[in-house]
Amino acid sequence: MSTTTLINNGLQISYDDLGHGEPALLFLHGWCANRTVFRPLVERRGTHRRTLALDFRGHGQSTTPANDFGFDGLVEDALAVIEASDAERVVPIALAHAGWAAIELRRRLGARIPKLVLLEWIILEAPAPFLATLEAFQDPQRWEEAREQLLARWLHGVDNVEEIRFVREVMGAHGYAMWARAGREIGAAYAQAGSPLRELARLDPPVPTLHLYATPPDPAYLAAQQAFAGDHPWFSVHKLSTHGHFPMFEMPDEMAATIERFVA
């Protein structure tokens, strides 16, 4: 695995580059995370095709800018990695709300983004309790309690050591500034688009899209996605049989195989 650093508008953006073959996979982590969340998948997919995994600005080994930023900045980082890689076709593998950035990459690059893989995303309309949590992240008096409640919910019933370490030591290490930014940007995206499925349906032409997820376990959530897929043949959903919010730590082999079948 080769770790590379590029300069994007004065910021150092770090990414891993492994393997050969197109379309390349571009792993995009969510807010308050970093590229190590994908290590189990990158290790498996990198032996079969070109695999890129970056740290967005302000995360992991990439530079934290002096000025504020939002999803547009994350998109710029992803575009810079794509161009630096010289990959002609790239399939984003986006965790959670990095899906908004993945959709924008398709909008900007068109056929160079032939497919999308979305992981563990609230792909329907955001429920009211989640929107309330996003608001709490932006409150200096409430953000820490809201973060702790979210992390505890993600780890409920989880016994995978690496998953626990990632949630506590990586995501839990980010402070108010990044969690408030995440709350603001995610909330604004849902307010503007309504839901990720609605935003995907607005793309013309549509892009083949796979949603691969483990939580929530609610059968109605899966049924709603299956109903959408029935009306939109370009969309498909795959439910994983684990309960952690980061199933790549628990079921990397099934996830890697499912992604490869879809991409190939």
Catalogue the E-assigned strands of the chain: 2-8, 11-18, 24-28, 51-54, 90-95, 116-119, 209-213, 235-239
Q: How far apart are CA 244 and CA 153, in angstroms?
A: 9
| pTM for this predicted structure | 0.97
Structure tokens that stand for 109 in this block = 């690059």
Q: Would residue 172 count as lying in a domain?
A: no
How is the chain split among helix, strand and coil, in percent rounded to 5?
Answer: 50, 15, 35
pLDDT along the chain (264 residues), means of 10: 85 95 97 97 87 98 96 98 97 98 98 98 97 98 98 95 97 98 98 98 98 96 98 98 94 96 95
Q: How far apart are CA 220 and CA 226, in angstroms?
A: 10
Q: How far apart are CA 258 and CA 210, in angstroms?
A: 9
* Closest residue by Cα to residue 24 from 77, 103, 90: 90
Q: Would residue 137 count as lying in a domain?
A: no
Q: How far apart are CA 26 and CA 257, in angstroms?
A: 16
Residue span of the structural domain in which 28 resides: 2-125+195-263
3-state secondary structure of 6: strand
Whole-number pLDDT of residue 157: 92
Q: Cα-flanking dihedrals φ and ψ of residue 60, to 5°?
A: 55, -130
Q: Would residue 22 count as lying in a domain?
A: yes
Question: Which residue in this structure is represented by tokens 């032996």?
Answer: 47
Q: Would residue 236 count as lying in a domain?
A: yes
Please classify residue 34 by burial: count the beta carbons closer than 10 Å to its beta carbon, then call 0-12 exposed, 13-18 middle and 19+ buried: buried
Q: Would residue 164 count as lying in a domain?
A: no
Q: Would residue 217 count as lying in a domain?
A: yes
* Total domain count, the chain: 1
Q: What is the CATH number of the domain that holds 119?
A: 3.40.50.1820
Whether 232 is a known active-site residue: answer no
Q: Would residue 86 count as lying in a domain?
A: yes
Residues 113-128 as b or e (16 or more Cβ within 10 Å = b): bbbbbbbbbbbbbbee
Whole-number pLDDT of residue 167: 98
Cβ atoms 120, 213 nearer than 8 A: yes
Cβ atoms 19, 260 nearer than 8 A: no
Using alpha carbons only, what angle is made at residue 171 by residues 167 and 175, rounded to the nearest 5 degrees? 145
Structure tokens that stand for 254 in this block = 């099934």
Q: Would residue 167 count as lying in a domain?
A: no
